[in-house]
Amino acid sequence: MLSYQKFSIKDTDHFMPSEYPQLEASIQQVVDQLAAEPVIKIEMILSFVKDHCINSKQVSEYPGLASLISTGSLTLQVMETLFEACKKNPVFKTELEQYIRSRFTITDPQQGLRAIEKLPI
């Protein structure tokens, strides 16, 4: 049975990673799931978790990653739920996005992003 989390984010809240340990665990699962992928386009992941859409050009350029995202194979639910909960708080949303981006690192600007090493949870 799947369990869904609900987050209550007020209009004045700021994103604090320490308040969302389940997010770090989720990000780490995605890192592990994508370990075999040659390239990780964080833009595709962010686009999906924020708006449930993926750019068609990126789908054709990165079909493997697009398939993992669109089929629900990646554990993106915590990220999706947080973005859904902060729709009325642009500051929180920006800080959340920056944090997720920070969990990935550029290895080659032409190739996209590669997941960073595992962090202790």
User: Model-level pTM?
Assistant: 0.80
Task: Compute the mean pLDDT over every residue in the chain, rounded to the nearest whole number.
Answer: 83
**Helix, strand, coil share of the chain (percent; to 5):** 50, 10, 40
CA distance 96 to 82: 8
Query: Quick one: pLDDT at residue 112?
Result: 45
Query: Quick one: pLDDT at residue 2?
Result: 46
**Domain for residue 1, yes or no?**
no
**Domain for residue 40, yes or no?**
yes
In contact, 87 and 81? CB cutoff 8 Å: no
Q: pLDDT by residue (tens digit) across 84-97? A: 999 999 999 999 99
Number of domains in the chain: 1
**Domain for residue 97, yes or no?**
yes
**Domain for residue 11, yes or no?**
no
Predicted confidence band of residue 33 (pLDDT cuts 50, 70, 90): confident
Q: What are phi and psi of 4, to 5 degrees?
A: -110, 135
**Domain for residue 3, yes or no?**
no
Query: Quick one: pLDDT at residue 4?
Result: 54
What region does 10 belong to: left with phi over 0, alpha with psi -120 to 50, or beta? beta
**Domain for residue 9, yes or no?**
no
**Domain for residue 81, yes or no?**
yes
**Domain for residue 25, yes or no?**
yes
Q: Is the pLDDT of residue 117 over 70?
A: no
CA distance 60 to 121: 34
In 1-121, which residue ranges form alpha helices assigned H by DSSP? 21-33, 42-51, 56-61, 63-70, 77-85, 90-102
Q: pLDDT by residue (tens digit) across 36-71? A: 777 778 889 999 999 999 889 989 988 989 999 999
Domain holding 101, by residue range, is 21-115
CA torsion angle for 112, 41, 30, 72 (degrees, to 10)?
-160
Query: Quick one: pLDDT at residue 109?
Result: 46
Query: Quick one: pLDDT at residue 105?
Result: 60
Q: Is the pLDDT of residue 1 over 90?
A: no
CA distance 17 to 99: 8
